[in-house]
Structure 1
Amino acid sequence: MASEMEFSQHSKVKRRSPWHGPMVLVLLFFVVILVMSLAFRVSKIEVINASEYTDEEIISASGVERGANLFFVDRFKAASMIFSDLPYMDTVSITRQLPNKIVIQAEGSAPAAYMVIDEEYWLLDRSGKMLGTTDSLTAGNYPEIRSLEPMTVLEGEDMLVEGTNAERLAVLQTILPALRAEDVSSLVEWIDLRDPANPSLRYDGRLTVYLGAEGEMLYRIAMLKNVVSQLAAEDAGTLYYTNGSAWTFSPD
């Protein structure tokens, strides 16, 4: 009996509390948070800048401060603040680099056209974002947009449109990048979006061009550039794009 009792006593096993594992995990979690908050502090803010704003203006607008915890920096909020404060901004990307660096990559919006709204000259970029008002002399460096009526316009915001005007804006968003890609924006006096299925523009001060509805806009603008190069310098009139690569010229 003694040996049995001795065996029984030595065979007892101490059991851990069921809370032991979760408590260890919670403790480790707080240790990790503490280490992150102490070790990863923002000490460098680099700006890769392709805009008209200074690096300091971009950093200030972002709200990112040196000494902040690297992992707690809200990149999306910072980008939103930059767009809100700096209307001439097109794209913003914010990334973290261990152990202590924030990189802000910013590209500015370039005026691509203008509109006359309530007797004011509004510049807009190729996506339709309103960049602010200017004088008539500056506006004259860009094509005038006609037959597009936004509901509201705010500096640094996309114009608000509805109905047929939404269709017209969608067409404009294909025309402006195409003009820029073919480097002919400076040759365009105005763009009329009255008929979004067949927009027109004034080209080189002597040609009224109807762009039609078929094919990629970049292709149509490239074809237009090629057709105009084959006309005589004194030729003036109207060009109609029909289908495929067919253009019809009607002289004045």
Structure 2
Amino acid sequence: MARRRGSARRRRRGGSGFLYKLLSVFLICGCLVAAITLFFRVDTVVITGEKRYTEAEIRQASGVEDGDNLFLLNKYQVIRNIAEALPYIEIENTRIQRKLPDTLLIQVQECGDPLAWTQDGTVWLMSPAGKIVEQTDTAAGYPTVDGCELLSPSVGTQIAVDTAYETRRESLLELLAVLDETGDLAKVDAIHLGEASYISMDYMDRFTVKMPYQADFSYKLRVLELAINSDKIQDNMTGTFDMRQEDGQVIFDQDTRK
């Protein structure tokens, strides 16, 4: 009988110890939450990487206010706020960091030089990543894209086309990604999507370049660069580079018109 009473007392002491530990954990957590809530508030916002937009514009678009809690801020929502309000900023390459005790670091990256897509009298400027960044009334000064119709274009959205032309859209974006990465986008005068079997571009104000859709554009452009810089292509030559051959052969048809 005494042994049973002793066991019961030990169980009660064990239960009380567990409750004490649990309450201690809750108390510590509550103190941490209170500390985070009371301290670590935004006092300074440092913005870097801006070109087209001012710091004030980016700060306003972010939605971050002085006194906001540094830890409770949703970084991803802040990035979305900025990209939606300021279309030239790339959401994928914008970064936010917290610097204790009171500083928020916002590093933005703006898209490369846009291309112009004219439709129904309206000019839509498109980033190399396919985001419509601006609506304007002139394509002057921009490389152009044609041969395919956009579906419901609007600023801040990705370009969309009819499903029958999806391969052309994908190839366009793949080509632009390579051109943007290599720094050769500035050499492009126009890109044409009107042909069913190949994409073509006007290049360096001297050449037409034809490539099949869904090609390895990184490889094709390296070959093109080698061809242009070879001894066979003189500085005064114009013409067409046909790069549609499966064996990788490049055919240059010189324009002999005066």
TM-score higher than 0.5: yes
Q: Distance in 2 between matches of 1:74 and 1:150?
A: 34
Aligned equivalent of 1:238 = 240
Could you say what secondary structure the match of 1:115 adopts? strand
Aligned equivalent of 2:251 = 248
| Contact 2:112-2:180 within 8 A present in 1 as well | no
Q: Distance in 1 between matches of 2:94 and 2:205?
A: 37
Could you say what secondary structure the match of 2:170 adopts? helix
Aligned equivalent of 2:108 = 106
| Contact 2:171-2:213 within 8 A present in 1 as well | no
| Structure 2: runs of 5+ lacking an equivalent | none
The alignment of Structure 1 onto Structure 2 pairs a total of residues equal to 242
The runs of at least 4 consecutive aligned structure 1 residues that moved more than 4 Å come to none
Q: Distance in 2 between matches of 1:123 and 1:129?
A: 8
Aligned equivalent of 1:160 = 160
Aligned equivalent of 2:26 = 26
Could you say what secondary structure the match of 1:151 adopts? coil
Higher alpha-carbon deviation: 119-128 or 16-25: 16-25
Higher alpha-carbon deviation: 29-38 or 141-150: 141-150
Q: Distance in 2 between matches of 1:92 and 1:33?
A: 28
In the TM superposition, what is the alpha-carbon distance from 1:245 to its structure 2 partner? 4.1
Counterpart amino acid of 1:145?
A: V
In the TM superposition, what is the alpha-carbon distance from 1:80 to its structure 2 partner? 0.7
Aligned equivalent of 1:212 = 212
Could you say what secondary structure the match of 2:94 adopts? strand
In the TM superposition, what is the alpha-carbon distance from 1:216 to its structure 2 partner? 2.5
Q: Distance in 2 between matches of 1:110 and 1:135?
A: 20
Instruction: Spell out, residue by residue over 1:143-187, the C-alpha distance to the aligned partner (whole angstroms, 9 max, x if none).
Output: 211122221111122123341332212111122233334444344
Could you say what secondary structure the match of 1:108 adopts? coil
Q: Distance in 2 between matches of 1:38 and 1:49?
A: 31
In the TM superposition, what is the alpha-carbon distance from 1:24 to its structure 2 partner? 2.4
Instruction: Spell out, residue by residue over 1:47-72, the C-alpha distance to the aligned partner (whole angstroms, 9 max, x if none).
Output: 12233111121111111122111110
Could you say what secondary structure the match of 2:198 adopts? coil
Aligned CA distance change for structure 1 residues 235 and 165 (closer, same or farther; 3 Å): same
Matched-pair identity in %:
25
Q: Distance in 2 between matches of 1:150 and 1:183?
A: 26
Instruction: Spell out, residue by residue over 1:10-59, the C-alpha distance to the aligned partner (whole angstroms, 9 max, x if none).
Output: xx777363643332222222111111112222222111223311112111
